Amino acid sequence: MNKIFNFSNNILNWFHVYGRKKLPWQIKKNVYKIWISEIMLQQTQVKVVIPYFKKFIKKFPSIKKLSQASLDEILHIWSGLGFYNRAINIYKTIQIIKKKYNYKIPKNFYKLIKLPGIGKSTAGAILSLTYNYYFPILDGNVKRILKRFYNYKLSQYLLEKKLWKKISLLIPIHNSEKFNQSLMDLGTLVCKIKNPICKKCPLKIKCLFYNNKNNDLKNNYIKKKIIKNCWFILIKYKNFFYLKKQNQTIWKKLYYFPMFFNKKKAFQWIKKNKLIYEKIKKKKKFLHHFSHYSLLIHPILILIHIKKNIQKDKDIWFNIFKPQKIGIPTPVKKIFTQMLKN
């Protein structure tokens, strides 16, 4: 019991001095802001989330305002943040909150975890950070701290169960909010994925990772990324580009250029659509990185002089000077930015 008390107490003492207390969702805090921030923070760093969160709240300052938004409007604000299924889940959840809960986010844990995109850890974060309810969280930061502190080397299934059991014992009854926030802050600021600053950690005295002189951090985290080739077909008519609303796994529900993972199929598509073009040329290829792989994008620019109606349902001609408010992925934004410069 003494070890559990020391762990929690050391964490809370560290938080009072070093913890983050002025993040945008902590100012004039409410359950709506905490929900949006927690969804954005899934698999994304705080410094990346902050500008997107500010923009999102400015556009949709309340639950009622968000409930009136279309999926395209939400994806437009989300564009560039990645993991777009999170934005789709926000759209699905807000419809449920509107119809089933009269514009109120449930305070009940078991109702909360039934909402799209809200699992056990996110539900715990929403309730503890908003109301100081006694619920633990187990995000990537917390997992990393516990795995290192106890030097766990288990299978993924057993590890998950072990970590939930351990964090449920460690969380204090009366300071759940500060404890959870302090663990997230410690993971972000000190117990980092790469190059942790162990000497500044309040847990270092009993941390098995820190006291194990044989650990090799670099070997644990160097991974060679897979590179996949893909081809974008940029059909341009004056100031307009043809974009398709996609249902592929990558950037689902977003608008982007016709995309192919085979060069031959890309040119077959051009031929099949009988495009009358002035010019066709390859643009400079570039890399776009995901968490587990990278795309090497080969843009092929086709300048057409007759705006042939090749649109299907929900496909559009995108005006780069008067852009429509739709969701587009980062590499498409990058191409448009370059086009505007030229």
pLDDT in tens, 41-58: 998 999 999 999 999 999
Domain(s) labelled CATH 1.10.340.30 in the chain stretch across 2-219
Name residues whose C-beta falls within 8 Å of residue 90's C-beta, 6 or more positions apart in sequence.
Answer: 36, 39, 66, 74, 117
Please name the residue that has the structure tokens 């949709």. 60
38 given a catalytic annotation? yes
- Res 219: pLDDT: 44
Q: What is the reported pLDDT for 253?
A: 86
Residue type, 301: L
At 248, list the tokens.
Answer: 């592929």
Tokens found for residue 167: 């964090």
Q: What angle do CA 277, 278, 283 make, to 5 degrees?
A: 90
Q: Which residues make up the CATH 3.90.79.10 domain(s) of the chain?
A: 226-341
CATH of domain 226-341: 3.90.79.10
| Options 38, 73, 160, 278, the catalytic residue | 38
Compute CA distances 172 → 31, 106, 169, whole Å: 21, 23, 8
Give the span between the Cα atoms of 33 and 23, in whole angstroms.
Answer: 11
pLDDT, one tens digit per residue, over 59-114 is: 999 999 999 999 999 999 999 998 999 999 999 999 999 999 999 999 999 999 99
Percent of the chain past pLDDT 70, that is, above it, reads: 93
80 φ/ψ sector (left φ>0, alpha ψ -120 to 50, else beta): left
Indicate if the pLDDT at residue 333 is higher than 80: yes
Does 221 score more than 50 pLDDT?
no
46-60, 135-149, 247-261, 298-312: least confident range: 298-312
Rounded Cα gap, residues 142 and 161, in angstroms: 14
Helix (H) or strand (E) holding 166: helix 156-170
Tell me the C-alpha distance between 44 and 81, whole Å: 8
Q: How confident is the model over 22-30, as a mean pLDDT?
A: 95
The structure tokens listed for 33 are: 């802001």
Architecture of domain 2-219: Orthogonal Bundle (1.10)
